[in-house]
Amino acid sequence: MKVAVVFWGPQAGQGGTHTFTQSILEALREAAAQSKHEFVYYVIGGPPGSSDMLTIPYTRRERYRRAAIYRLRDMLDHAGMPRRRLHTWLERSLAEEGVDLVWFATNYVEQCDQPYVLTIFDVEHVRQPWFPEVSADGEWERRHHHYSRFLPKATRVVVPNAAGRDQIVRHFGIDAERVLCLPHPTPAFAREAASREPLPRERVERLGLSKPYIFYPAQFWAHKNHATLFDTVAELARDGGERYELVLTGSDKGQLAHVRSLVHDVGIADLVHFLGFVDSDDLVALYQHAHALTYLSFFGPENLPPLEAFALGCPVVAADVPGAREQLGDAALLVAPTDPAEITGAVRKLEDQALRKKLIERGSRRAEDRTPAGYVDGVLRFLDEFERTRRCWGANGSVRTE
One domain, residues 307 and 257: yes
- State the Cα–Cα distance between residues 314 and 312, nearest whole angstrom: 6
Of 303, 246, 312, the closest CA to residue 273 belongs to 246
Please, which residues have CB within 8 angstroms of residue 236's CB and are 6 or more apart in sequence?
A: 242, 243, 244, 344, 347, 348
One domain, residues 313 and 385: no
| pLDDT attached to residue 401 | 47
Report yes or no: 316 and 292 within 8 Å, Cβ to Cβ: yes
- The neighbour count for residue 295, using CB atoms within 10 Å, is 27
One domain, residues 341 and 382: no
248: in domain = yes
Q: How many domains does the chain have?
A: 2
Which stretches in the chain have pLDDT values below 70? 10-17, 46-51, 83-84, 396-402
- Which CATH number belongs to the domain containing residue 134 in this structure? 3.40.50.2000
396: in domain = no
Report yes or no: 311 and 191 within 8 Å, Cβ to Cβ: yes
Strand blocks (E) in 235-366: 245-249, 272-274, 292-295, 316-319, 333-335
One domain, residues 104 and 234: no
122: in domain = yes
358: in domain = yes
| pLDDT attached to residue 69 | 85
86: in domain = yes
34: in domain = yes
One domain, residues 86 and 107: yes
One domain, residues 242 and 134: no
Report yes or no: 249 and 277 within 8 Å, Cβ to Cβ: yes
| pLDDT attached to residue 47 | 59
Q: What is the pTM of this model?
A: 0.89
One domain, residues 167 and 199: no
Radius of gyration of the chain (CA): 23
| pLDDT attached to residue 61 | 83
44: in domain = yes
* Domain limits for position 335: 188-369
One domain, residues 179 and 221: no
Please, which residues have CB within 8 angstroms of residue 282's CB and are 6 or more apart in sequence?
A: 203, 204, 207, 275
397: in domain = no
One domain, residues 60 and 153: yes
Element spanning 71, H or E: helix 60-79
One domain, residues 212 and 240: yes
One domain, residues 208 and 356: yes
One domain, residues 112 and 209: no
